[in-house]
Structure 1
């Protein structure tokens, strides 16, 4: 028992230290973004409490149409893209996992080939251009509408649903659409929540293709603005004209504004996690089948 307790203590210490390595940098960014610009130079990399609480950085950022517009663009891309992803992926997974049709093995082989040998960026660019989706947010929403790897994961969830439940539904006269909507989807909430989280994070963090397909700054997602401001050090669009709103009397700290922009980019995902994690519950199928 002593050995067991000692091993638990060691595990707890390791987990606690691992949590600190992730949590401290985020808290440091939050503290820096809430620090008075005149005291920002006093902040060190381990400080997790602001020096002179001030919301001036967020007032500047949220009063900028480029920032607020990019947040709305990212929200629309994430919500619409994730909904489309889950709809198409779940429909394809149901057809491949719970039905039989001629050429099913050939379709699965084709999907595996697509997963292993993805098309290059140039053919993708030419396709987007031919479809007239350049400088259009739909180009980011429709990209990878079905991820083949996630499709196979969801197929495994659907295959784990007992056949007895589906057979009982068929006896009651349910067709494929009713089985899919009333049986498959409700019993696969953990799988759908998992893939929804994966798809949502992918859409929210997407910036590479946005820089290729979206040329108008008003249509940029938040990650592109974040890249311009944090990585490329382009502060003219954020600080230049917006400082006039404050009468030019306030001096802004560039590092604090960078921290505030990063916090704005990660907070929506942190808010989303608790709502997704509640679906990671065991025993979703318990009591569904009586032996």
Structure 2
């Protein structure tokens, strides 16, 4: 089975359930890591305070905690990674999630691309949303959800619609301006089975000149073996320490592939250029990026030294 994620527009909903006079109010906290002047936080705070179904509280009393993502708005991925090294530390989940909390929302800005014609998602906002989902595993008693708004400068109508979303049961929602320019649409991310069958394998042309970063690691070597077994003509494994001859011989045993493993730190532009000059040929037909570093750590540690290890430009 092949499945894919897609955004589906939610039908206009009857929000009277959230405004009913006999409905108990829900305690909601707006938690902002930046400052009280954050425009998203300010609008949502005002909307929660004015909503008849909400009681604006602090994190300790809240049933719903709404964390506003820091304003890391760089469109360039490398610059955004630099912002994340310090910006992610601003999210203090253990402060935001109190004893009464049952639902934790992260509100990002321009962190999702709802359709192909929309601008690309901002890298840091998308990364914070992914981190939020991961952090949720540390809080099994709470539901972690994500709301994406179209800009940092949302208006009152958008803020009111967002509060209704925060009171609903969806876990991945994007609010966008209607195509007509008036009104708002809400989209939820769903997983759907695809009518297309799974591809049989990598196209032959893609296996002509394969380059694998992190080539001496377990993942990189497994990909190398996979490509060699499927007819790769040439494979170049890039890693800081290279691959010993015995390992290379095992990779190519019984196959005609050429496998090279020059020692190269791919974060060193000069070293990378030198290796490319010697091994690139007509250019890579397939690039597999298996270089990386990871550490498992609780939220209180994951955004400090671990972020510096995992985020250098590759």
**Taking CA–CA contacts closer than 8 Å with sequence separation of 6 or more, which of the two structures ends up with the larger relative contact order?**
1
TM-score normalised to structure 2 length? 0.21
**Higher strand content, 1 or 2:** 2
Higher helix share: 1
